[in-house]
Amino acid sequence: MNIILLGPPGAGKGTQSKFLEERLGMIQLSTGDMLRGHVAAGDAIGQKAKALMDQGKLVPDEVLIDMISERIRQPDCANGFILDGFPRTEPQAEALEKMLAANGMALDAVIRLKVDPQALVERISGRFSCGACGASYHDKFNQPKKPDTCDYCGKTGSFKRRSDDTADKVQTRLEAYEQQTLPIIPFYEARSLLKEVDGMAEMDVVRDQILAILGQKQGGVAEGRRFLSV
């Protein structure tokens, strides 16, 4: 199965992708993670992307299209993939359709997580993660048991926050979503691929809604929630 998880920043795309990876053996293709990898490596893509990401703006379509076109041809995509953060514009949606067809692939569903904007700001501005293992925490909803120590890998002093997770950048990211990403919804409605879930529900409930859409047994994989993008 190949699916897109579509939703604004903080909607829970990364969280649910990790559930699905563990449960269904699909692979998460997070363009945000890929770009952060390039930024960390300081390579040409990273240099192009860094300033835009820091401002909460989208990186140019051609960079993302090349990246995904290359990625979906890797052998680990054969069991199915979850696109998390791609496509985000109409040109990206059109390019994806063409590249899937060229590789004999297709989409099974485009799952939209619907979340209130106010909840998004709160979710994102409180988020932090362990730089060593990727475990995810939240200032209010999910604090580590011991301050500054990861519950899962035990490492101390490794917590970090994304540079675009501040309230003002979240606002810019939400605007980008509304102006550039929401217009792709009719594209997928027209292809009868769009499904909607209530992203305001508890994480397990969101997971079960997605599993139901995918025709899978609900429940299980309670540990998946701890992981997020590193």
Contact pattern from residue 198 through residue 227 relative to ligand AP5, giving x for each residue in contact according to CB under 6 A and a dash for the rest: ---xxx--x---------------------
> Is 112 an active-site residue?
no
Q: Is 138 in the site for ligand AP5 (CB under 6 A)?
A: yes
Q: How far is CA 175 from the centre of its chain?
A: 17
Beta carbon nearer to ligand AP5, 2 or 136: 136
Contact pattern from residue 89 through residue 128 relative to ligand AP5, giving x for each residue in contact according to CB under 6 A and a dash for the rest: ---x------------------------------xx--x-
**Amino acid identity of 60?**
P
Q: Is 88 in the site for ligand AP5 (CB under 6 A)?
A: yes
Q: How far apart are alpha carbons 214 and 98 in whole angstroms?
A: 23
Q: Is 12 in the site for ligand AP5 (CB under 6 A)?
A: yes
> Is 173 an active-site residue?
yes
Stretch that binds ligand AP5, among 8-16, 73-81, 103-111, 186-194 (CB under 6 A): 8-16
Binding site for ligand AP5 (CB under 6 A): 7, 9-15, 31-32, 35, 52-53, 56-59, 64, 85-86, 88, 92, 123-124, 127, 136, 138, 141, 164, 173, 201-203, 206, 228-229
Instruction: Show which residues are catalytic.
Output: 13, 88, 127, 162, 173
